[in-house]
Amino acid sequence: MINIAPSILSADFGKLGPEVAEVTQGGADFIHIDVMDGHFVPNLTFGPLVMDAVKPYTTIPLDVHLMIDNPEQYIPAFAKAGASFITVHAEACTHLHRVVHMIKELGVKAGVAINPGTPVSAVTEVLEDLDMVLVMTVNPGFGGQAFIPRTLRKIKELRQLAGELQMPDLLIEVDGGITAETAPLVVNAGANVLVAGSAIFGKEDRAAAIAEIRNSCAK
Ligand code: DX5
Ligand code: ZN
């Protein structure tokens, strides 16, 4: 089962609600929400208030990707705003174990993200506590960047590790440069949550774009 998660970073912010409704009706599995603070990454987006405002436009899980320093400061607000998943960056957490447990205690599924330059070992000590690992397939901060092929070996390593730990349900998410061309590569490596921004919101027909990515993995 492959989950497609359109990233609203590439949506038209002037009509975010209808954009979210369109991809929901177009067959998306999760709505991916990219939160950036201008410190951890060199870009700024939105916070829990905006997420709260788009929530009525969808019925599928909200997948929050926190690209921010001190994520523990904002986790309760995103939980309250209705996040189904909250993912923090391993690179942004001095006390990663504590942060993961904070997310879980709020009744939210927990994810940890690793940048292209960060090894899988950055998550192994908390892996058994996680619902999801996010392998960044670009350096975070902007939509529309090119997929970094070397990240494929980390996806494979994680899927193998999840097998050894008897965690068949571990979600492995990929984010950045995912298209109908790169999707089969990441799925073959073991990913099952595919974030796509420009490959969905950059197209006129969003339902067709979602179907194209999904079908490319079935081959
Ligand atoms: C990058 C964000 C991504 C971004 C992906 O920092 O985390 O979610 O929206 O955009 P595309 O799919 O265009 O690479
Ligand atoms: Zn993201």
DSSP code per residue over 147-200: P-GGGHHHHHHHHHHHHHTT-TT-EEEEESS--TTTHHHHHHHT--EEEESHHH
Q: Where are the domains of the chain?
A: 3-218
Q: Indicate if 131 belongs to the active site.
A: no
Measured from the Cα of 43, ligand 1's closest atom is 6
Check: CB of residue 123 under 8 Å from CB of residue 100: no
Query: What's the pLDDT score for residue 187?
Result: 98
Task: Determine the residue of 8, 9, 174 to mutate for testing ligand 1's pocket, defined as the one with the most ligand atoms within 8 A of the Cβ atom.
Answer: 9
Residue-wise pLDDT tens for the chain (219 aa)? 999 999 999 999 999 999 999 999 999 999 999 999 999 999 999 999 999 999 999 999 999 999 999 999 999 999 999 999 999 999 999 999 999 999 999 999 999 999 999 999 999 999 999 999 999 999 999 999 999 999 999 999 999 999 999 999 999 999 999 999 999 999 999 999 999 999 999 999 999 999 999 999 987
Annotated binding residue at 89?
A: no
Answer whether 176 contacts ligand 1 (Cβ < 6 A): yes
- Opening angle at CA 138, ends 134 and 143, nearest 5: 100
Query: What's the pLDDT score for residue 18?
Result: 98
Enter the pTM of the model.
0.98
Q: Report strand pairing: 171-175 vs 109-114.
A: unpaired
Query: What's the pLDDT score for residue 141?
Result: 98
Annotated binding residue at 117?
A: no
ipTM of the complex: 0.98
Answer whether 198 contacts ligand 1 (Cβ < 6 A): yes
Query: What's the pLDDT score for residue 123?
Result: 98
Q: Which residues pair with 89 in a beta bridge?
A: 113
Q: Indicate if 37 belongs to the active site.
A: no
Answer whether 199 contacts ligand 1 (Cβ < 6 A): yes
CATH no. for 3-218: 3.20.20.70
Give the DSSP per-residue string, 156-167: HHHHHHHHHTT-
Query: What's the pLDDT score for residue 51?
Result: 97
